[in-house]
Amino acid sequence: MNFGIPYKGSKSQIADWVLANLPKRKNLYDLFGGGGAITHRALLSNKFERVHYNEINGLKFRQACEFAPSTALVERAEFHASKDIKVRALWSFSNNLKEYFVARELEHLTFIKHNFVFYKHEISPKAIEDFAEYPLPSVFFCDEPSDRVLLLADFLTKHESKFKRNYTAYYLKEHLHAERVDAQKIDHNTLKGLEFALRQYLRRAQEKSGITLAEINRLTNTYMAGHWFRDCQWSFPAREQYETLQNILPGLVRSYDDCTAPLRVARAVLKIRNYRINRFETYARWCRMCDLHRTAKPQLHKLTETHDDYRAVPIDTDSVIYCDIPYMGSDEYYGKGANFDFEAFFQWANEQTEPVLVSSYQLPKKYFTELIAVKKINLLSKNRKPQTEALFIPNSQIGKFSYNQQIKLF
């Protein structure tokens, strides 16, 4: 079972293990609650009389639990306008609650699959048949979305080549007005060649002008010059930025669309070609939010919730404090744009009189001692190699509390 809101960095994968290793107390304080995986698991465990969820970054666990998620399709503009945590969780990229979950090139394809799974008699069946060049068997129009997911996944896998070829042709014609492009001739080397040519075009204009990258940053009010004119993490400027650069660098004579049109075509072709067509992202997330609503809502009488800095949360006696802080060395932020102050947290943890357990890969031995570790798969990494995550206790608490370490490897 998954726990909590689908959210980047969720502890759902090791929630059972974390709960097993928390000492039994009256109250649990989940001070960096995030998606609420530990809060959710604790509510179901009956190990604690009260569970306190705190999250400074705007996630609202109670709101996510109280009502079942909608099956309605949420398009990009609606997503960005919505403040509903369930909408944000269902339709965000890597469950970060900020960016829309699918690239523009794949929106129509994703909408087709979503509408067929949840609304089988909408326009989706005709579109699926047109792209696949094969009729949908009548059995596909069964009543259960879960059955339609399995049947359609198998169908799309069998007809993947034709489906992607036809969908690519549709997208190039309708969205990029590039129906004459032979998509079959585009590969990774095509994209690399286009990017190289544009880098050289930008770099020659900058070098000829004699204007430094620092000066370009100042004149464009950005810190992007290194990405535009160097190889590392290269990106072509956005339209407004490019037009600003044209006023600075006389050598930039080509229009924005002339520069970027071939790039957009190549990226679209490759994105569609590499897409895992048998995935049903919105259905999987919807199921998880339904599970959260079904299991957590009956336990909400045990929940208290705040959205404060961890230091501002009053801790009652007979409590255990669990802290899933940002990983050291990561680019995660705490609060509204502020870097997380690790040193302040280390000091705070060692000053607490109730037991504190901290999740992390590593923490300074000056302040913390590893209690127990577990291997888990990092679902956000490219190689998905197992990583060791540990529970740490402050050095000031060594010998003060007893722990029942439960070893479990994933």
Q: Are residues 127 and 202 in the same domain?
A: no
Please give the full DSSP string across 342-403, using - where no structure is assigned: HHHHHHHHHH-SS-EEEEES---TTTEEEEEEEEEE-TTSSS--EEEEEEEEEGGGTTTS--
Tell me, yes or no, whether 176 lies in a domain.
Answer: yes
Instruction: Please state, rounded to an integer, the average pLDDT across all residues of the chain.
Output: 90
User: Is beta strand 386-394 parallel, antiparallel or unpaired with respect to 368-377?
Assistant: antiparallel
Q: What pLDDT, on the 0 to 100 scale, is given for residue 379? A: 54
Q: Are residues 393 and 309 in the same domain?
A: yes
Residue with tokens 């994968």: 13
Q: Give the domain extent around 349.
A: 12-62+296-397
Residue 272: per-residue pLDDT: 96
Answer yes or no: is 286 within a domain: no
Quote the CA–CA distance of 338 and 325 in Å, as a whole number: 14
Residue 46 DSSP class:
T
Distance of alpha carbon 166 from alpha carbon 159, whole angstroms: 11
- Classify residue 221 as exposed, middle or buried by CB count within 10 Å of its CB (0-12, 13-18, 19+): exposed
**105's tokens:** 């090139």
Instruction: Give the CATH number of the domain where residue 334 resides.
Output: 3.40.50.150
From the number of C-beta atoms within 10 Å of its C-beta (0-12, 13-18, 19+), residue 139 rates as exposed
Last residue of a domain, one of 180, 212, 227: 180
Residues 373 and 310 in one domain: yes
For 113-139, what is the mean pLDDT? Answer: 89
Give yes or no: residues 175 and 217 share one domain: no
**All residues at 6 or more sequence positions from 115 whose CB lies less than 8 Å from its CB, including other chains:** 73, 122, 123, 124
Strands (E) across 177-260 are located at none
Cα 88 to Cα 78: distance, rounded to the nearest angstrom: 10
CB atoms near residue 335 (< 10 Å): 11
> Does residue 95 form part of some domain?
no
Selection from 315, 405, 331 nearest residue 19 by Cα: 405
* DSSP at 237: P
pTM for this structure?
0.80
Give the strands of the sheet with 27-30, arranged side by side. 303-306, 50-54, 27-30, 319-323, 356-360, 386-394, 368-377
Query: Of 321, 381, 368, which is closest to residue 342 (Cα–Cα)?
Result: 368
What was the pLDDT predicted at 147? Answer: 94
- Whether residue 44 is contained in a domain is answered as yes
pLDDT at 378: 60
Query: CA 116 to CA 126: how far, in whole Å?
Result: 10
Domain annotation covers residue 205: yes
Q: Is 89's pLDDT higher than 70?
A: yes
If we measure between CA atoms, which residue out of 14, 10, 32, 11 comes closest to residue 321? 32
Q: Two tokens at 409?
A: 């490897």
pLDDT of residue 401: 83
Helix (H, G, I), strand (E, B) or coil at 27: strand
Can you state the angle between helices 256-274 and 160-176, rounded to 10 degrees? 160
The whole-number pLDDT of residue 259 equals 96
Burial of 191 (0-12, 13-18, 19+ CB in 10 A): middle
Q: Are residues 306 and 361 in the same domain?
A: yes
Q: Calculate mean pLDDT across residues 143-167.
A: 95
Look at residue 331 and tell me whether its pLDDT is greater than 80: no
Q: What is the pLDDT of residue 277?
A: 93
Domain boundary among 155, 180, 205: 180
188 in a domain, yes or no? no
Distances (CA, A) of 224 to 67, 138, 148, 198, 348: 43, 54, 46, 16, 37
The pair of three-digit structure tokens given for residue 404, joined into one six-digit string: 């029942």
203 and 125 in a common domain: no
How far apart are the C-alpha atoms of 282 and 259, rounded to whole Å? 34
Instruction: Kindly state whether residue 229 falls inside one of the protein's structural domains.
Output: yes
pLDDT in tens, 167-206: 999 999 999 999 999 999 999 999 999 999 999 999 999 9
Residue 19 near residue 45 (C-beta atoms within 8 A): yes
Task: List alpha helices for 249-280, DSSP H.
Answer: 256-274
- Count the domains in the chain: 3
What's the pLDDT tens digit per position in 185-196?
999 999 999 999
- The encoded tokens of residue 165 equal 């070829």
* H helix and E strand count, the chain: 16, 7
On whether residue 169 sits in a domain, the answer given is yes
- Write down which residue in 180, 205, 232 finishes a domain: 180
Res 336: pLDDT? 47
* Residue 342, token pair as written in the block: 């690790």
